Amino acid sequence: MRRLSLVAAASCCWMLCASLVLAVDLPGFSTGEVNLKSAGPLSFAPDNVLIIGDPKAATVYAVQLDKSATKSPERLELPIPDGIEVADLAVSPDTGVIYLSVTENGKAAIVQVNGDKLEQVALDKVKRAVAELANAPEDKVVGEGRRRGNRREESITDIAYVDNQVIVTGRVTGDAAAAVHSIAYPFQEQGSAMPIEIYHAAHGRYEDDAVARVFVPFTIDGKPHLLAGFTCTPLVKFPLGEIAKAKQAYRGTTVAELGNRNKPLDMVVYEKDGQQYLLMANSARGVMKVSTKDIEREEGLTEPVKGGGTAGQTFEAIDWEGVVQLDKLNDTTAVIVTKAEGQPAVLKTVDLP
């Protein structure tokens, strides 16, 4: 009966009763509208501020949310109506509410889980701060064959708040197209884009045009780093302090090769039995539980890994099918979006492995 009630709720939830957005004053914020051109990555800053990436606009928004919103259920299985595409999900560390960036009929929106239904977050009059990215690719289709596409759609691939900065990965103009943006929070100064370079073990070469698809903030030896996943699937660490000082493309340290013909879709860091792990959802290689043991070592991969092989950090495969998005709901539970072929997408909670 519980499952039936959720399915029934999902069938009508896209009436989307607008949820209330309330906030206290924060420096650098003003009241206005957030008019999203596209659904992109989500993250959270302190004081229940939702960080929203809009790749089509090459713009980052920080939106103050209501702290009195009802905490999302710890046990949840909610089918997502047909026609709704989920770009990302994030759980508020302040309230435990699940938020999703979605597209329906070509329109982007932010929705939240309220009990067993989805509600649209009203963005017409909110406290927000706005940052436009420098050097974003033109909004047009370029290239031929398999390389044909609109590079503006990759201007923001992932986003996170780290130590009074908003870090954004994505594509910029120029030959060295892969970059990391560092924007002082809350966007009172112009941010900067730093080009990056990685050793791509599956390709057997260094590359400065490989865009980080997903990343997580991670502390190594007391210093903030990014652990970033790239297509085919190198896992690379970047010390944030050193990136900011780079005068040319900053070369990260490739700590793992997790298999070719694959794109990382989402990842999160969590602790289990006193050890830290990276949980990564992938397009072709399922969900991986990656060990972070000895990740502080200085040496990285510098030799080719051929034939779809793996090297570096060890991992185990997790038997979760069709996972396309994930986040931590709490210390023991994850929230995931699954999409099996021919089936509706489902938002549900599962125990962290």
Local structure of residue 272 (DSSP, 8 states): E
What is the C-alpha to C-alpha distance for residues 132 and 124, in angstroms, rounded to an integer? 19
Q: Which helix (H) or strand (E) holds 5?
A: helix 2-12
Residue 253 in contact with residue 300, Cβ under 8 Å? yes
166-191 pLDDT, tens digit each:
999 999 998 768 999 999 999 977 77
31-88 pLDDT, tens digit each:
999 999 999 999 999 999 999 999 999 999 999 998 888 888 999 999 999 899 999 9
Question: Cis peptide before 186, with omega less than 30 degrees from 0?
Answer: yes
Whether 23 has a pLDDT exceeding 50, the answer reads no
241-287 pLDDT, tens digit each:
887 777 678 899 999 999 999 999 999 999 999 999 999 999 999 99
Whole-number pLDDT of residue 212: 98
In DSSP terms, 19 is beta-bridged to: 121
Whole-number pLDDT of residue 313: 98
Q: For strands 250-251 and 253-257, give the pairing.
A: unpaired
Counted residue by residue, the chain has a size of 353
